[in-house]
Structures are given as C-alpha cells and as structure tokens.
Amino acid sequence: MQLSKETQIKMYEDMLKIRAFEEQVDEFISRGAITGTTHLCIGQEAVAVGACYAIRHDDYIASTHRGHGHCIAKGAQIDKMMAELFGKETGYCKGRGGSLHIVDMSTNNLGANGIVGGGIPIAVGAALSVKMQKQDKVVVCFFGDGAMNQGAFHEAANLASVWKLPVVFLCENNQYGMSTPLNEAFNIKDLSIRAEGYGMEGITIDGNDLLEVYQTVKDFAEKARSGEGPNLIVAETYRWKGHSKSDPRKYRTREEEQEWMKKDPIAAFEKKLIKEGILSEQKAEEIKEKVEKIIEDAVKYAQESPYPSVENITDYVYVEEEA
C-alpha cells in the first residue's frame, strides 16, 4: 500500500465530510428547509472516497442520483454544494439542477443523474473521447445495483468492451433499488458475473472497506488505462437511510439495518488508523470539529446566498454566442 499517512487521514476526513453533509441535508429535508427530494449515501462513504482517491484528478467520474459523496470525494466544495441544494445562484448548477443534478465539472465529474442508468452510456462516451484524443485518462462510472437492469447498462458495457475503452464500471450494490431487494431484481447472487457476458473482468468486493475499494479501483483503473478495456467492480454496501425523503422502509427490517450499521465504514477505518498509530483520538476529535465547522460555514453561505433572478430564467438553455 503506497498510501501516505497524510493521504489516509485526508480520506478519513473526506468520509466524515460526506457523512456530516448528508446528516445536515437529512435534517433540512425532513423539516422542509430544502424543497424537493434527495438521496443520501450515509453508509456508502467508503466507495466514493476509495474510488476517487484511487484515480487521478484529471480522470473522470460519472455519478448518480445518490451523488453527494462522489461529488465531495472528487474534490467539490461543500459550500457550493449546499447552496445548490438550497436552489441558490451560488450553487454549482446555479440553482437550476439541485441534488439530482449536482456536479462540479472543474473536478472532471460528469454529473449526478436523475435517470437511473442514464450516466452509464455517458461515461462510455467520455472514455471514447479520451481514447480518440489520445489521452491517458480513465472514467470511473458509478451506478447502483438497480441500474444494472437498465438496457443502458448492457448496451454501454458491451460497447465499451468492443471498443476497449478505459472505463471502470463501479456498481454500488447497496442491496436495494428503492424498495426492491436484489432477489426480486436478479436471478443471480454475484452481480459481477455479468462482466463475463461482455468479455471483461469482474470482481465483487467489500464496499465498506475503504482500502479494499481503493486498491481494487486503483488496479482496475490502471488496467483500463493501459488499454485492456473496461472492467466491472461490484462494491457491496448498504444505505442506512430511506431511499429518499419520507420512506418508511417497510421492505426491510430494523434488525437488518442494525447489522449493517455495525459495519460502519468510517468507524472501521478510524479504528484501523488509531490502531496503526496514524491517528490519535485527539486528532480524530479535531478533524470532526473541523468538519463540523466546514458544514456550518457551508450552511451559512447557502442561506445567505441569493436565489437566481427570474429575469435570467432562460439562461443556459442554449449556448449563446460570446459577446
């Protein structure tokens, strides 16, 4: 493992940032301070952070409706994200997109997506572009287990493989697509065997183990980068919260949730860092306080920012000629 202590601490901090961001958003959503809906990734932080740290800054990611974690891990600013969720002009999408479309193109994030599976062919297109422009970037394409049953996944996976494009298909298998459990949506247990049908390598890993995610994505990304073509990683994880706003979670038991919460990716990594002497309990506290402050500042920024002006409502529909 070539990860420095500093990097590991940064990864820990980013996971905390994601969780704190999501908890804050959850609170705002449940009391109506943020309109609309959002999909929280609490419990899945290790996939976002492990994957984004395993690739270069100029590599691309394609995200999903559950995309706050990907966005943060790829390097987005918390304040501009929070402002977006508030629908403010200072948000990443100038309030036009909201949580479902959150994106920071400056970090080569190709965007969250409101359409399940919608981002997968786009990721393949980005990889095609990389190849045609003779760049050496890869694309990490996040999607859920549910998305794997969209035609878009199958068509895109096949195309990427036939054209040997540098894509890592990264399935976050959180055991449910909304209310539908795996066994109602798949007649296979290990989703990674689907890779074989498209002539690519596939693997299933523990998505709550940060370093396992990191190492696998790193290896797979380098294979894709070196011209071997795409591959598929299925990261097993769990979403702690409801699918979206106001989900009573009738389709699963509280006991099952408790079991998965014991496998908290952040707590596990924290324990490991402390055990290895990389992190002290005091330092962990300091980081948590720092993260809290970042969230507080972001909330303040978002709340104090203006809404977009209705006068400019038709901006960005088309590319306008520069004056």
Partner 1 sequence: MRQLTGRQAVAEALMEEMMRDEKVFLLGEDIGIYGGAFGVTAGFIEKFGPERVRNTPISEAAIVGAAVGASMTGMRPVCEIMFMDFVTIASDQLVNQAAKLRFMFGGQAKAPMVLRTPAGAAAAGGQHTQSLEAWFTHIPGLKVVMPSTPYDLKGLLKASIRDDNPVLFVEHKLGYGEKGEVPEEDYVIPLGVADIKREGKDVTIIATSHMVFKALEAAKYLEQKEGIDAEVVDPRTLVPLDIDTIVNSVCKTGRAVIVHEACERGGVGGEIAARIIDSRAFDYLDAPIKRVGGLNIPVPYCPVLEKAYIPSVEKIVKAVKEVVY
Ligand X SMILES: Cc1ncc(C[n+]2csc(CCOP(=O)(O)OP(=O)(O)O)c2C)c(N)n1
**Nearby residues of 104 by Cβ (< 8 Å), 6 or more positions away:** 71, 74, 75, 76, 77, 80, 92
Q: Total residues contacting ligand X (rule CB under 6 A)?
A: 15
Q: Total residues contacting partner 1 (rule CB under 8 A)?
A: 39
Q: Which is closer to partner 1, CB of 12 or CB of 301?
A: 301
114, with CB counted inside 10 A (0-12, 13-18, 19+), is middle
* 35 lies in the site for partner 1, by CB under 8 A: yes
Give the footprint of partner 1 on residues 136-175 (CB under 8 A): 146-147, 149-152
**What phi-psi label fits residue 190: left (phi over 0), alpha (psi between -120 and 50 degrees) or beta?**
beta
* 75 lies in the site for partner 1, by CB under 8 A: no
Q: Which residue has the tokens 């099952």?
A: 256
Least CB distance from residue 61 to ligand X, whole Å?
15
Range in contact with Mg ion (rule: CB under 5 A) among 7-15, 72-80, 144-152, 311-319: 144-152
The whole-angstrom separation of Cα 55 and Cα 49 is 10
The whole-angstrom separation of Cα 29 and Cα 34 is 5
Q: Which is closer to partner 1, CB of 180 or CB of 215?
A: 180
* 62 lies in the site for partner 1, by CB under 8 A: no
Least CB distance from residue 142 to partner 1, whole Å?
15
Q: Give, as one character, the DSSP assignment of residue 262.
A: T
* 114 lies in the site for ligand X, by CB under 6 A: yes
C-alpha 299: how far from chain center: 21
Alpha-carbon separation of residue 248 from 219, 245, 251 (angstroms)? 39, 9, 9
Q: Which is closer to partner 1, CB of 41 or CB of 116?
A: 116
Which residues of the shown chain bind partner 1 in the complex (CB under 8 A)?
35-37, 87-88, 93, 95-98, 100-101, 113-118, 146-147, 149-152, 177-180, 184-186, 250-251, 307-308, 310, 313-314, 317
Which residues of the shown chain bind ligand X in the complex (CB under 6 A)?
39, 65-66, 114-116, 144-147, 174, 176-178, 243
